[in-house]
């Protein structure tokens, strides 16, 4: 006697059966109606559209479809990687300019009047630019760029690892507090800051370092994409260097502060470089997928 497969559970039933004896689903008109067919994502066989279980390989299809949606989010949910890669370059420039302000290089240039034409050097060029950009404005730009890039990195992370939360928001909030504190200090350079207020700034810097390390470690653990490991390592290096800067900040010697400021700028510049390469690779991947 002729048999057919149940479109719901995949088991064999009689061709004239109106109800499946295995799953209990009604089979009326299933052979009469023109069925919309699709390809099983597991065995590649043609099956009826919207089936929950493939009748050929017996694999649940709904679960696979959900995985595809998770792995490939829509382009509207993704950051603008091209813009972010450009902003990483801008952030590097402002970080270097701020380091020149904080280390006193700009003051040296103003005092001795080094001529840009006599020395075609990047440091002199940045120093000449820094002369026309106030330190407080440079600090604001550094803070805004850091917060924005962290928000966009979080956005990318959430699309790639939605079930593995990372303390991005805590890091961002603490960073805003630290940049705000540093901005206040730039307007009170000639005022002796009380020790309790200085201690608040020190605790903010330590807290930022702790969460930088936590976020960097989790990125290394969860984000399995090209270039992500260098972003995470650079962030963890920053987390180690920043407390050193905060501790040396208590020393009164001007040369110590200048030296540590220059050294401290290196990890964040390296971080932005790694982040720029990471965003650039994501942009290239998106272009190849769209093509």
Q: pLDDT grade, residue 108 (50/70/90)?
A: low
CATH of 75-290, one of 1.20.1070, 1.10.287, 2.40.128, 2.60.40: 1.20.1070
Residue 10 DSSP symbol: -
> CB count, 10 Å around CB of 240?
12
pLDDT tens, 187-242?
887 677 777 777 888 888 889 999 999 999 999 999 888 889 999 999 999 898 87
Of 81-90, 117-126, 178-187, 275-284, the least confident: 117-126
pLDDT tens, 247-266?
665 554 545 555 656 677 88
> CB count, 10 Å around CB of 234?
21
| Rounded Cα–Cα distance for residues 257 and 251 (Å) | 7
State whether the Cα torsion 107-112-113-117 is positive or negative: negative
pLDDT tens, 138-182?
999 999 999 999 999 999 998 888 888 889 999 999 999 999 988
Closest CA to 132 of 82, 167, 97: 97
Q: Which residue has the tokens 């971080």?
A: 271
Which of 30-39, 66-75, 84-93, 181-190 ranks highest by mean pLDDT? 84-93
Top-confidence residue, 213 or 8? 213
What average pLDDT does range 72-79 have in this prediction? 62
Q: What is the rounded (10 degree) CA torsion for 112, 117, 122, 126?
A: 60
For residue 46, is pLDDT > 70?
Answer: yes
pLDDT tens, 56-65?
777 776 544 3
> Which pair of tokens denotes residue 169?
């928001």
What average pLDDT does range 126-144 have in this prediction? 83
* Average pLDDT of the residues of the chain: 78
What average pLDDT does range 123-144 have in this prediction? 80
Helix (H, G, I), strand (E, B) or coil at 242: helix
Q: What is the rounded (10 degree) CA torsion for 40, 45, 48, 53?
A: -50
For residue 5, is pLDDT > 50?
Answer: yes
- The whole-number pLDDT of residue 176 equals 94
- The whole-number pLDDT of residue 68 equals 38
């Amino acid at each position: 006697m002729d048999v057919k497969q149940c479109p719901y559970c995949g088991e064999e039933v009689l061709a004239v059966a109106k109800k499946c004896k295995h799953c209990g689903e009604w089979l009326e008109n299933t052979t009469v109606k023109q069925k919309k067919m699709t390809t099983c994502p597991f065995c590649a066989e043609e099956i009826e559209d919207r089936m929950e279980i493939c009748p050929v390989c017996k694999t649940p299809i709904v679960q696979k479809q959900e995985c595809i949606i998770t792995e490939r989010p829509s382009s509207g949910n993704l950051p603008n990687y091209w813009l972010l890669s450009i902003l990483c370059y801008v952030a590097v420039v402002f970080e270097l300019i701020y380091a020149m302000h904080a280390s006193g290089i700009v003051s040296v240039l103003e005092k001795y009047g080094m001529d840009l034409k006599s020395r075609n050097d990047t440091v002199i060029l940045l120093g000449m630019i820094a002369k026309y950009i106030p330190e407080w404005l440079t600090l604001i730009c550094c803070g805004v760029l850091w917060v924005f890039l962290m928000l966009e990195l979080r956005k990318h992370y959430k699309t790639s690892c939605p079930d593995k939360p990372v303390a991005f928001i805590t890091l961002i909030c603490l960073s805003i507090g630290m940049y705000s504190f540093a901005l206040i200090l730039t307007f009170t350079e000639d005022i002796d800051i009380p020790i309790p207020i200085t201690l608040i700034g020190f605790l903010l810097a330590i807290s930022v370092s702790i969460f930088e390390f936590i976020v960097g470690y989790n990125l290394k653990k969860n984000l399995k994409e090209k270039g992500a490991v260098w972003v995470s390592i650079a962030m963890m290096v920053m987390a180690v260097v920043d407390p050193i800067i905060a501790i040396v900040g208590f020393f009164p010697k001007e040369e110590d502060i200048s030296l540590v400021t220059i050294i401290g700028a290196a990890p964040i510049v390296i971080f932005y470089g790694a982040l720029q390469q990471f965003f650039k690779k994501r942009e290239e991947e998106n272009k190849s997928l769209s093509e």
